Structure 1
Amino acid sequence: MTAPVQPALDGSVPEQRKTRTVQQAEDYETWLAEVWPKFIAAAASGRTFTTYEIADTHNLPAPPNPQAHWGRLMTLLKDEGYIRTAGWACTGRPTAHHSGVRTWKGTAAARRAAA
């Protein structure tokens, strides 16, 4: 059942917002195998990005434990030499209210690996 729509003061009825369903992976290894190539490609591009930008652009599933696994993914990529920290930005994630998040940039090694 859908909630009733509140009309605007001028009497017009606003369009309903479209929401996107985010899938959640069953296990960490399967999730990691799915998202890893997308982040490697982002690192090889040489542009600065946030984790959410890549996940949103590619409609990636959420990990089994989102509070821990997104950060773990970025730590693995950094430890493997694919990315480095680039600074901070406000997130574009709708539920985060423009909180500050880490930005990442691919390394020269990531660009060579993609070539």
Structure 2
Amino acid sequence: MANPIQPALDGTVPEQTKTRQRAEDYETWLAQVWPKYIDAAATGRTFTCFEIADEHKLPEPPDSAHHWGRLMTLLQDEGYIRKAGWACSSRPTVNHSGVRTWRGTRAARKEAS
């Protein structure tokens, strides 16, 4: 099923080359993105969810409004990341709204070595 493209208020349509693929189901999507976030956690750097997705051109989940947050909660629950603070999002569609930043835990760095 093709993803519908929402025109902007001024009538322009976003370029198709800038849109990322959308995964068919949650489990497949999770299997694709999980390793990239584990790798990011292992570096110990502070990051936003979108920064990692954009850096690796990760696919969109089936339900973008909920699945990204669920991913970060799972990573935190598994002990890979912890809350680090807040930043302005670099995601183009959210007008620099505030988002949570994350940092890999000592356990994530230790597991990677």
Q: TM-score, normalised by structure 1?
A: 0.83
* 1:59 alignment partner, SS class: coil
C-alpha deviation, 1:20, in angstroms: 1.0
User: Which residue of the other structure, out of 38, 54, 59, is the alignment partner of 1:40?
Assistant: 38
Mapped to 2, the partners of 1:81 and 1:42 lie a distance apart of 13
* Regions of 4+ moved over 6 Å: none
Structure 2 unmatched ranges of 5 or more: 1-14
Q: Which letter does structure 1 place at the counterpart of 2:63?
A: N
C-alpha deviation, 1:21, in angstroms: 2.0
Mapped to 2, the partners of 1:97 and 1:49 lie a distance apart of 18
2:76 corresponds in structure 1 to: 78
1:11 corresponds in structure 2 to: none
User: After superposition, what is the alpha-carbon deviation per residue over 1:60-108, rounded to whole angstroms, capped at 9, x for unaligned?
Assistant: 0000000110000000000000000000000001111000000000000
- Specify the structure having the higher radius of gyration (Cα): 1
User: Which residue of the other structure, out of 82, 86, 91, is the alignment partner of 2:89?
Assistant: 91
Mapped to 2, the partners of 1:69 and 1:37 lie a distance apart of 16
Mapped to 1, the partners of 2:19 and 2:106 lie a distance apart of 35
Q: C-alpha root-mean-square deviation of aligned residues, in Å?
A: 1.3
Q: Which letter does structure 2 place at the counterpart of 1:54?
A: I
* 2:54 alignment partner, SS class: helix
Structure 1 unmatched ranges of 5 or more: 1-16
Q: TM-score, normalised by structure 2?
A: 0.85
C-alpha deviation, 1:113, in angstroms: 1.0
